[in-house]
Chains A and B, each alone.
Chain A
Amino acid sequence: MLRHLSRFALFLALGLAGLPVVVASQPGEYQIKAAYLINFARYVEWPASRLPLGAVLRLCVLGRDPFGGALLGLDGRQVQGREVRFRPVDSLEQALECHLVFVSGSEERRLGLILRGLAGRGVLSVSDIEGFAEVGGGIGMVTEDDRVRFDINQATLARDGLRASSQLLRLGRQVFGTERTSR
């Protein structure tokens, strides 16, 4: 028992000492989430009237930006032959000018209002607010068993004239608004 305890203490001490290093060696939650945003831009198709061929794809964060600069690094990146431009926005009016809007957790209290405002305007809404896709958001990111997964609301996407590729739908944890609902 004692030996186990001292081993455990050693394990702890080693762990604590190596800590800053270990933390840096693995990607943070929001770095992964930022990578997801780029992929969503890749695998979702906007109506041509909303996003003409070759036009700039505007990626926005509504509310307090939790990405800590990770999105700035994506500014100017090419996706499907178009340039991605990142912009933080404060209001719904500004958000309507974007193609992909990440709704920050800071906006949770006004979520209903935001979803209503974005409805039918050709904007892909993404968020990690709990139950986002379920309540009518486009794509909700969910952290489960230390991995970031996502839920898709097909009915919302269809209403907004967006098309998710079959690959995106296949990898989604839960797909709402269709017959296929896993879990």
Chain B
Amino acid sequence: MTIRFAHCFLVPALCCGLAARAQDASLADLSLEELVRLDVTAVSRKAQKLSDTPAAVTVLSAADIRRSGARSVPEALREVPGVIVAQIGAGRWSVGVRGGEGRFSNKLLVQIDGRSIYSPLFSGVFWEALDVVLEDIERIEVIRGPGASLWGANAVNGVINIITRKATATVGSLVSATVDDGGHSSLSVRQGISLGDAGALRVFAKGSELGGSRTRDGASEPDYNRGWLAGFRMDGAGSGVDAWTLQGNSSRRTSGENIIATSLTGEPAPLSLDFVFESASLLGRYNWGLAGGEASIQAYVDHQFANVGTYGKGTVNTADLDFQHRLVPYGVHEIMWGLGGRMLQTEIAAASSVLSITPPRRQSRVFSAFVQDEITLVPQTWKLTVGGRFEYSSRSRFEPQPTARLMWTPNMEDSVWASWSRAARTPSIGESDATILFGAQPTPPGSPFPMVVLASRPGEGWNRRAERVDTLELGYRRNLGNGSFEAVLFHNDYHRLISEQTDPNGLVFPTSPLPVAPFVAPIQYLQRGSQSAARSHGIEVGADLPLTAALRLQASYTLMDTRVRRSADAAANATARHLEESAPQHWGSLRMTVNLGGGQEFDVAARRVGAIGTGDVPAYTAVDLRYAWRVNRYFDLYFIAQNLFDPLHLEYVSNFFPGQPVYQPRRAFIQGVWRF
């Protein structure tokens, strides 16, 4: 490589100029055998091929995920512009799109193979309960901005679709073993079996233990996360156009962390909290030709259970049915429509009187319909997409979620698009039904009581309407030969945001002693309601530059600002401030991937994340390294180092539980992957 480099550099005309001219003509004369052996200068990424989509979409291919050195799904998302990922602790992540960050980022929808893993209990994703066989992921699609017209409620700020490979593409055996510098290990085993004309089946299992975080002094590990998953996927044979899939998963994970609680003496003290998550699901999908177009029907059942120490447990059972139909193009119109129905059964049993849920058991139903028309205004140049989703939920009202997107592609290289969309987020069970005792707070001097106990409950007469966002986006994409450049400007207008306000009726004197210290004190209620409003705007930039056949640079940068409406109420202002400050205002990443030849890869990634106001998290820079060696066609070896120049750093302080802030140390992994 170096030699060819030097030659080209010294004698460019001889080496290259002539060759380039002769090439177009002569390439076509090459035989198949010669073509198969020819090295490509640089490969265009999948993302480029999305130049026809009038939305901010990033697709991470299996190769992108592998080369990122990610050990989990959130880590793989770190390089996507507009997505902010922060590690809270072992297996615990905050993943937000365009702000709205938090442990349960409630405006982001996450799906695995079409199955939602968004929990209706707390409006968010329990990342600590999620593990996947990374080797079997085909791609991850990240759609920033409202995806509601296609994906439904809760896709307010974005949608993340994790798509696993078809069983027909994973015939054979795979064993992947990883161990980190602390001795924590993970093992995935997959066996794919061809069923001949019927298709293929794969069964898989994975067990993993994640490395813990550190306390501020680096001495002890205050958290843990371990568990297993097992499942199967069956796909029909690929030769026909009709396709079917059947898949099932089951998992169990335990995760522990400390929360800071007020002890009897009034001193803050860490209190350990252990979570158990169990889940099982079964999904089937069938695609077939219908009226000249293409239809698909998907059904799944899903069971999720979570146990939180001795404090309580929650169960969510879901049954979902979804139908989609893409009609054969009619004139300049390409229409897609669909219907969906979902039954949800939730139950929260609070063992502690700190939290009470009324009613503890709920059954809710969601019915939805969507239609989308892609209209070609000028062939190859102007396209207009209009669509909408109409959703009825027994827990909210009728929520129309429309979108309009216009795209201009003046040439092969450039595309410009603009969009307006509206999306809604249904209040979670926790938001709509929970009463939570936060604990005692000293009152200002001169008050008749030394302490009051703060508690949050749904406001009286609150109609529990969904939060709403109106989003304007303007995007530009440019193909740079084999690379690409992308920039998106966005503006969000949020209405009816759920927030807390001080109960105007003042203090309430409980008739029996309280379950928290100081046991006898008046209660000041904070009432939840659809009271707040906010605006945010920002810019996301992404670039992918293949510099040479062997060297590629990828960069992303996001700058954004959130403003929440202020009021005269102190409690409301605290919520507002939290919303504004729970995400950094800017973050970026730079990645260099090098192919060293001989099946060796070397990757360096650096990221810079701005400070976060909530929890006083300082800005930080982290550098990760990865070296991979394809030893032979059966065996790959990886070395991964994370946080190379940083002994310890803080990425996020959990905002849902008063979690103990934990720090991320330097880590190293060695991984072997056998395919046979």
- Chain A interface (Cβ < 8 Å from any Cβ of B): 11, 14-19, 21-29, 31-32, 34-36, 38-39, 43, 63-66, 68, 70, 73-74, 77, 90-92, 104-106, 108-110, 112-113, 115-117, 119, 129-131, 133-136, 143, 145-149, 153-156, 159, 167-168, 171, 176-177, 181, 183
Contact = CB atoms under 8 A, between A and B. Distances in A.
B548 A171 contact: no
A55 to B, nearest CB: 20
Contacts of A130: 46, 61, 138-139
A73 B166 CA distance: 37
B24 A31 contact: yes
B5 A15 contact: yes
Contact of B28 (A38, A112, A155, A156): A38
Contacts of B61: 130
Closest 7 CB pairs of A and B: A105-B49, A155-B239, A18-B9, A25-B16, A177-B239, A106-B52, A112-B294
Contacts of A14: 5-6, 9
Contact of A22 (B51, B239, B548): B548
Contacts, number: 195
B24 A136 contact: no
Contacts of A39: 30-32, 35
Interface string B1-38: 01011101100100111011001110110111101111
Contact of A147 (B40, B194, B551): B40
A25 B42 CA distance: 12
Given A29-B42, A106-B51, A116 B241 contact: yes
Interface string B208-236: 00000000000000000000000000000
Contact of A21 (B16, B31, B52, B334): B16
Given A112-B326, A155-B239, A26 B41 contact: yes
Contact of B8 (A25, A104, A147): A25
Interface SS of chain A:
helix
A178 B36 CA distance: 22
Contacts of A26: 39-41, 549
Contact of A181 (B24, B171, B412, B482): B171
A148 B35 contact: yes
Contacts of B329: 91-92, 113
B450 interface: no
A54 B33 CA distance: 26
Contact of A183 (B52, B171, B238): B171
B436 to A, nearest CB: 44
A176 B19 contact: no
Contact of A64 (B28, B30, B194, B409): B409
Nearest to A129: B49
Contact of B27 (A22, A34, A106, A115): A34
B5 A22 contact: yes
A111 B61 CA distance: 18
A28 B549 contact: no
B238 A176 contact: yes
B52 A64 contact: yes
B241 A17 contact: no
A169 B237 CA distance: 19
A36 B326 contact: no
Contact of B380 (A64, A110, A119): A64
A116 B8 CA distance: 48
A35 B40 contact: no
B243 A35 contact: no
Given A26-B549, A159-B239, 12 more contacts: A21-B9, A21-B16, A23-B481, A24-B19, A31-B27, A32-B40, A39-B31, A112-B294, A112-B326, A146-B39, A147-B36, A155-B237
B40 A148 contact: yes
Contacts of B599: 145
Contact of A24 (B20, B293, B326): B20
A104 B412 CA distance: 12
A109 B454 CA distance: 52
A31 B482 CA distance: 12
Contacts of A143: 40, 43
